[in-house]
Structure 1
């Protein structure tokens, strides 16, 4: 038995009682006439939808129905999903999946190759081993981590995009699309908003913020980037723009502390431990939510230097890095659209 005090961060069971990760500032009041607002627990997090201009209850119904369908297909934590079936057949036969799941898996594998495994969809065994974000979170033993790492290798995942099949060749291998599935879900929300000819909307999917369309007064949307050292809704600065997605990965939401050490959920597939690189959060600004989701995780795992290089190599993507010393680092694009407002933070040179 380990000695020492354990303190846990937010667990999945507590998420429904929390506010959104990022504060979205709009000229419209939350209950302004004509708006439709809806909040629900889906994909393991809180989703808040605001139809600011256009849309109807039917629009909201279709959005949450689609989110539930994605969860029931791609979650690694629910029985009967396509990902759960793939994992259950590891070391055995291939599993037939849907086109949507194949698309998301291929995108995850694409980023695995781009980042040399910093984002690895075969990380499932490591996620299960640590169980961070649940009441069963614990520090695994060195031998447990060593044996688990032998199961993590995106290059071993066998896919047949034509036949829509996936096979994991080793018993114990597990897929986990948690680093990218919410991004896909946000893109699906945007597709439905466009289908229903919604003119303006704001979506917060557990820190994946989507601002859609244009505000009535023509001013840009302003999205607040969460202050990692404060309560939700406290922000360090603002991102201004139109029709964008803002996604943050950080160490302050899902973690536990034991013997004074914080163990967060952003696991490094190479070491088997939470990434340790002096960063507390990475925020990505982009037009595609699935790309922003993948990049926020990848850039965090890679660290400031390699993460910034990754972002700078992708057109029209911005990034805000925050380190433990409360220094803020901006990519080239972010410098044009981000304004620091919190005096407790400083801009890095």
Structure 2
């Protein structure tokens, strides 16, 4: 299950003036798109298409919905023995474990059993029994992943474990595509996967400070809350604006804290800016679960990060928007929440 916000929920929106070239390919249950100024070299669209095709190749390695994928084989066999995996799968799991350690376990690619227990896998949220929750927690914990870099193998130390790359896979794929474009000499472009994971390089137009990204209201996506300029960095949004249910007067969303087994966070959405998309994807998930106070502390003590948090205002249809570690000239809040400012 992908913990990142889906395009229909609280994704940003991307300005598309008429002078842009668009290259689109479906992958990972969404659409990936490369946007480039119209004056790029004539080879650039073909390079973009090749980069998007590579994302489809990675999907064949990372998808838990394909029985013949590397990750499906790993999930079937790794509790019994170390499993040699594709180098890209090993690398992304290494990155995921590093981010789990950095966030104190708030991000965890083994959290799938908890999402199942709460009914969010099939979008029918429910409170699990204490027994169900305890059983799910037994199968969760990045500390129980044993990685052997020399042999490129992964083993699960606990039975019932499995990994799902939904909250980091798109970001990793975008980073791979960006590397292909940059290596081929493409300097100015924006690439996104379903708009919830975005990487911008260079500028949309000469003289502009990057690419403008409008951030949407988590519950009313037609409303825009503000605009951020993105340049040579990535942006990812996580949230539970649509997937939630109420239990004893408490709003419980689909973003589960892997450490407690309960839905976490005190925001409707969290948008995170980082240097690479795998990091922004995973940190957006982990820091959303941690809540705005810990998220603020994290970005203030780690250079190159910024966040925009959106919180409910009690007994009101309005929201509070908080930007942290983003320069004033890069972040413009919309006072009137216009529908289509870009």
TM-score, normalised via structure 1 length: 0.84
DSSP 3-state at the match of 2:26: strand
Query: Does residue 135 of structure 2 align to residue 153 of structure 1?
Result: no
Q: Which residue of 2 aligns with 1:168?
A: 156
Q: Which residue of 1 aligns with 2:34?
A: 49
Q: Deviations over 1:191-242 (max 9, x none)?
A: 121123223222221201122222332212211112113125x320011242
Q: Which residue of 1 aligns with 2:13?
A: 23
Contact residue 281 and residue 323 of structure 1 kept, 8 A: yes
Alignment of 1:97-112 (within 5 A): 97-112=85-100
Q: Which residue of 2 aligns with 1:340?
A: 333
Contact residue 11 and residue 221 of structure 2 kept, 8 A: no
Contact residue 234 and residue 280 of structure 2 kept, 8 A: yes
Q: CA 1:309/1:19 → structure 2, altered by over 3 Å: closer, same or farther?
A: closer
Q: Deviations over 1:159-182 (max 9, x none)?
A: 001110000122211112222111
Contact residue 320 and residue 334 of structure 1 kept, 8 A: no
Q: CA 1:57/1:222 → structure 2, altered by over 3 Å: closer, same or farther?
A: closer
Q: Which residue of 2 aligns with 1:266?
A: 255
Q: Deviations over 1:30-49 (max 9, x none)?
A: xx3xx432334311223232
Q: Which residue of 2 aligns with 1:250?
A: 239
Contact residue 85 and residue 152 of structure 2 kept, 8 A: yes
Contact residue 199 and residue 234 of structure 2 kept, 8 A: yes
Contact residue 235 and residue 342 of structure 1 kept, 8 A: no
Per-residue deviation, 1:19: 9.2
Q: Which residue of 1 aligns with 2:316?
A: none
Distance 1:218 1:83 in 2: 44
Superposition RMSD on alpha carbons, in Å?
Answer: 2.7
Per-residue deviation, 1:109: 0.6
Per-residue deviation, 1:138: 4.8
Distance 2:139 2:116 in 1: 12
Contact residue 126 and residue 245 of structure 2 kept, 8 A: no
The size of the alignment, in residue pairs, is 325
Q: CA 1:278/1:135 → structure 2, altered by over 3 Å: closer, same or farther?
A: closer
Query: Does residue 75 of structure 2 align to residue 82 of structure 1?
Result: no
Query: Does residue 305 of structure 2 align to residue 317 of structure 1?
Result: yes
Q: CA 1:170/1:192 → structure 2, altered by over 3 Å: closer, same or farther?
A: same
Distance 2:60 2:115 in 1: 19
Per-residue deviation, 1:330: 2.0
Distance 2:294 2:10 in 1: 29
Contact residue 20 and residue 204 of structure 1 kept, 8 A: no
DSSP 3-state at the match of 2:310: strand
Per-residue deviation, 1:83: 1.6
**Which residue of 44, 47, 58 maps to 1:59?**
47
Q: CA 1:318/1:20 → structure 2, altered by over 3 Å: closer, same or farther?
A: closer
Distance 2:136 2:144 in 1: 15
- Structure 2 unaligned residues grouped into runs of 5+: 314-318
DSSP 3-state at the match of 1:296: helix
DSSP 3-state at the match of 1:50: strand
Q: Deviations over 1:71-118 (max 9, x none)?
A: 111123332222211111142011111221111111111111111110
DSSP 3-state at the match of 2:23: strand
Q: Which residue of 2 aligns with 1:198?
A: 186
Distance 1:339 1:216 in 2: 19
Q: Which residue of 1 aligns with 2:217?
A: 227
Contact residue 112 and residue 154 of structure 1 kept, 8 A: yes
TM-score, normalised via structure 2 length: 0.86
